[in-house]
């Protein structure tokens, strides 16, 4: 059952990243990878909420596997994030590469804290 | 983001411009201004299947190598580093050598590798470690994952490009 739940979440999360990335990238001309940045921060916010809800006893382990391991895991990506960072440095956009690393980690962590705090406010 | 593709294996030093910056989407092929879902059915299907495979592999790794609450999350670090190395090899091969079917990149790059690696678990694990009073472990995990992931993709791309050039030269003899 756990595997089914993880797979079901991933089958939603992965296409969601593709669609979000595509929609975002078609709407700006900057080399900054806004699409990947956005899905990663969004996934961190949702996983923060889920983690907070589980801690507060408001969400089951299946919910965590579905939304956390499956959906957020597939929605967010480290491989695309690091490949884009490498390609930016190769293209001479070193500032964007450094900004991508710093902003992704800072905003991702910030989103986790916001998600956990929201979950505690609602369910604790 | 060069639009032209090499038809043969490159014998010259590789110009990385033929490799895209965003590996997940191909705006040259799919068109910039069409509707969000226009002609996307097959791509969404293979991304979903690939994502399921990648996420299942990551879940399997977490069952085989479980990490206790306050311990250093080695499994997620290893999963992310491996995914970064593989995307480096994959994107070079796809850009320089293999004129693959148009669904190969969405299936493997966006789906499998995107589903396998995770940014959200990385960030939440840091928060959990810091909140549990293990701030040093959390910061070490933050920095070490970044280093391992970027080193993995950098090394994989550099080595694969060298191999492609070498194989191309040998083929010309």
Residue B139 touches chain A, beta carbons under 8 Å:
no
What ipTM does the predicted assembly reach?
0.96
| Chain B positions in Cβ-Cβ contact with residue A6 (cut-off 8 Å) | 55-56, 59
Residue range of the domain that includes A78: 2-123
- Which positions 17-56 of B are in contact with A (Cβ < 8 Å)? 17, 19-25, 27, 30, 32-33, 36-37, 40, 43-44, 47-52, 54-56
CA B115 to chain centre: 10
The pLDDT-based confidence of B106 (bands split at 50, 70, 90) is: very high
pLDDT band at B32 (very low <50, low <70, confident <90, very high): low
pLDDT tens per residue across span A71-93: 999 999 999 999 999 999 999 99
Confidence category of residue A112, pLDDT binned at 50, 70, 90? very high
Number of domains into which chain A is organized? 1
Residues of B in Cβ contact (< 8 Å) with A104? 119
Shortest Cα–Cα distance, A90 to chain B (Å): 7
Which range is most confident: A24-28, B27-31, B156-160? B156-160
Interface residue B142 vs chain A (CB under 8 A): yes
Which regions of chain A does DSSP assign to beta strands (E)? Answer: none
Residue B99, pLDDT score = 85
Quick check: A70 and B152 CB within 8 A? no
pLDDT in the model for residue B9: 41
Tell me the count of A-B CB pairs closer than 8 A.
216
For every residue of B119-148, DSSP letters joined together read SHHHHHHHHHHHHTT-HHHHHHHHHHHHHH
pLDDT at B15 (0 to 100): 62
Pick among B51, B111, B145 to test the A interface (most A CBs inside 10 A):
B51
* Pairwise pLDDT comparison (B69 vs A122), residue with the higher score: A122
Task: Say whether pLDDT at B6 is over 50.
Answer: no
**Minimum distance, in Å, between the CA of residue B173 and any CA atom of chain A:** 30
**Token pair of B8 as six digits:** 């043969």
**How confident is the model at residue B10, as a pLDDT?**
40
Q: For the residues A31-46, what does the mean pLDDT come to?
A: 97
Over residues B82-104, the mean pLDDT reads 93
Radius of gyration of chain A (CA): 16
Question: So what's the pLDDT on residue B25?
Answer: 80
Inter-chain CB proximity B87 and A11 less than 8 Å: no
Pick from A22, A86, A113: CB nearest B154? A86
- Whether residue B131 is predicted with pLDDT greater than 80 in this model: the reply is yes
Contacts of A14 (CB under 8 A, 6+ apart): A74, A75, B47, B48, B50, B51, B52, B54, B55, B110, B111, B114, B115
Rounded to an integer, the average pLDDT of B152-173 is 93
């Amino acid at each position: 059952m756990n595997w089914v739940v993880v797979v079901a979440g991933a089958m939603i999360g992965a296409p969601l990243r593709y669609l979000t990335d595509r929609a975002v990238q078609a709407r700006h001309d900057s080399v900054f990878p806004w699409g990947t940045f956005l899905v990663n921060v969004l996934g961190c916010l949702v996983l923060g909420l889920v983690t907070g809800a589980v801690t507060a006893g408001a969400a089951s382990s299946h919910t965590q596997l579905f939304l956390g391991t499956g959906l957020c895991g597939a929605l967010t990506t480290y491989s695309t994030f690091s490949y884009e960072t490498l390609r930016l440095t190769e293209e001479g956009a070193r500032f964007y590469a450094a900004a991508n690393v710093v902003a992704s980690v800072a905003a991702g962590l910030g989103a986790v804290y916001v998600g956990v705090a929201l979950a505690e406010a609602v369910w604790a | 983001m060069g639009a032209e593709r090499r038809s043969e294996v490159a014998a010259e030093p590789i110009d990385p411009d033929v490799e895209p910056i965003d590996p997940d989407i191909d705006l040259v092929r799919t068109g910039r201004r069409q509707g969000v879902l226009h002609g996307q059915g097959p791509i969404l299907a293979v991304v979903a299947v690939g994502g399921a495979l990648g996420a299942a592999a990551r879940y399997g790794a977490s069952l085989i190598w479980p990490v206790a609450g306050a311990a250093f999350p080695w499994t997620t670090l290893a999963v992310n580093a491996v995914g970064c190395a593989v995307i480096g090899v994959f994107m070079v091969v796809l850009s320089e050598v293999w004129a693959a079917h148009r669904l190969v990149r969405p299936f493997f790059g966006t789906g499998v590798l995107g589903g396998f690696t995770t940014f959200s678990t990385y960030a939440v694990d840091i928060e959990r470690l810091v909140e549990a009073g293990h701030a040093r472990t959390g910061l070490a995990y933050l920095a070490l994952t970044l280093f391992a992931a970027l080193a993995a993709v950098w090394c994989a791309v550099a080595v694969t490009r060298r191999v492609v050039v070498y194989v191309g030269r040998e083929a010309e003899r």
